[in-house]
Amino acid sequence: MAEEVIIFARSLPFHHLGGMEVVAWDLAVQLQVKGFKVTVVTTDFDEDIPVLENTPQIIKLKNIPKAAYSPGWWAETEKIIETWRTKDNVSAVISISAGAFSTLKHKKLFPNAKFIMQAHGTSIGELVSKIKTRKIKKILSSVKNILGFYSDAKHYSYFDWVVAVGDAVKKDLTSFPTTLICSNDKVVKIENGIDEYLFSDDISQRNTVREQLGISFEAKIFLSASRLHEQKGVDKNIDLFAEIKKVNVDAKLLICGDGPYEKQLRKKVDELKLNHDVIFLGAKTRTDLAKIMQGADIFLFLTKRVEGLPLNVLEAMSSGLPLIISEHLTFNSSDKIFKCKPNHIPFKDVQAYINTLSSKERRSFIPKKNTLSHSVSEYTSLFLRNSK
């Protein structure tokens, strides 16, 4: 079998920590671990990456806009694929979103490669979402999605496989009008995979984390980890914590992340006189976040919008953290998952749920299909499977 994999991604976690970026890099690293020679083509970035045994090769395209599609991106990625020296040895060319669109015209030069698109959404799905907001600015920006659909129409049919990262994306891909440009037969679902070895239910660092933060070993720690955007519901996490604090006097709330809503959130904490109990930790690397999760007790994510399979929740599940989450998420309620409306939080029910957790042992409860090892195995099976 051919041994090389080429991944085209306009941005990686070294540009910014988004879900798409994390998924792309994790896939690249684990394919390298499995024995493939992986090359990731991306835009330039400043961060230095330690070269480890399983670090994929990175080709940084310089003198073009960073973390964005541009005429320079399309020209340079086409040049790379056209002049690739070992075409016969390439097993797969993976397009993170539209990243590899300009390479498709040279697909016939790669006789042993499957061309695979990893779809995180569709132009039509985004269009509908913007219209539903009923906000003029959002609706006007939807013109870009109409143009995106036209671009998709020119490229989707050339991929051997189009991977939907979740149910919502698969539904959009297999519904009208996207079915006009993408055959249902080539759509497969491979859900986002979390590194279950990084985000594990190990709590050996629990006390160390608490010592570093100046928090007692007995205190109940709540954790929020997301971009600090109004729609992410971090303000609702703070509202809930303020009520919890009345009963759990030693409780603390850790907020990981940065974003445009941070100033308003800090003001809210100040108004609630919770400055000593709510700790803003800023943006964290995934390694640091995994360690912080060892020191926490309960994960909060009261997002105000519909989300499919957010990585932060999957990471918390993999770490064995019980969840208090928004009803807008697709996860089912269980003894580890409490769901509620962000704008109508039943505080008494939440407290009763918290009380049931006090004696429960930490155990990972992430579904196997959402582990990174499973996700990577699904991708490698596509390298060998004949497209329809």
CB 368 within 8 A of CB 374: yes
Neighbouring residues of 7: CB distance < 8 A, sequence distance ≥ 6: 24, 27, 28, 38, 39, 40, 41, 56, 93, 94, 96, 99
pLDDT at 19: 85
341-387: per-residue pLDDT in tens?
A: 999 999 999 999 999 997 667 999 999 999 999 999 999 999 988 76
Domains of the chain: 4-193+371-384 (3.40.50.2000), 206-367 (3.40.50.2000)
**Rounded to an integer, what distance in angstroms lies between the CA atom of residue 38 and that of residue 98?**
19
C-alpha angle 136/124/69, rounded to 5°? 85
184-216: per-residue pLDDT in tens?
A: 999 999 998 999 999 999 999 999 999 999 999
Mean pLDDT of 228-257: 96
pLDDT at 12: 96
pLDDT at 185: 93
Percent of the chain with pLDDT over 90: 76
Position 156 pLDDT exceeds 70: yes
CB 42 within 8 A of CB 66: no
Residue 128 structure tokens: 């509908």
Position 179 pLDDT exceeds 90: no
Position 1 pLDDT exceeds 60: no
CB 329 within 8 A of CB 310: yes
CB 174 within 8 A of CB 154: no
Position 143 pLDDT exceeds 70: no
CB 87 within 8 A of CB 109: yes
Neighbouring residues of 159: CB distance < 8 A, sequence distance ≥ 6: 95, 104, 115, 116, 117, 186
Position 148 pLDDT exceeds 70: no
Mean pLDDT of 267-278: 98
pLDDT at 149: 60
Q: Which of 32-36, 118-122, 323-327 has the lowest mean pLDDT?
A: 118-122
Q: Which of 86-95, 117-126, 222-231 has the lowest mean pLDDT?
A: 117-126
93-136: per-residue pLDDT in tens?
A: 999 999 999 999 999 999 999 999 999 876 666 655 656 666 77
Mean pLDDT of 311-331: 95
Report residue 53's pLDDT band, with 50, 70 and 90 as the boundaries: confident
**Rounded to an integer, what distance in angstroms lies between the CA atom of residue 119 and that of residue 41?**
17
pLDDT at 134: 65
- The DSSP annotation for 339-380 comes to EEBTTB--HHHHHHHHHHHTTPPP-----GGGBHHHHHHHHH
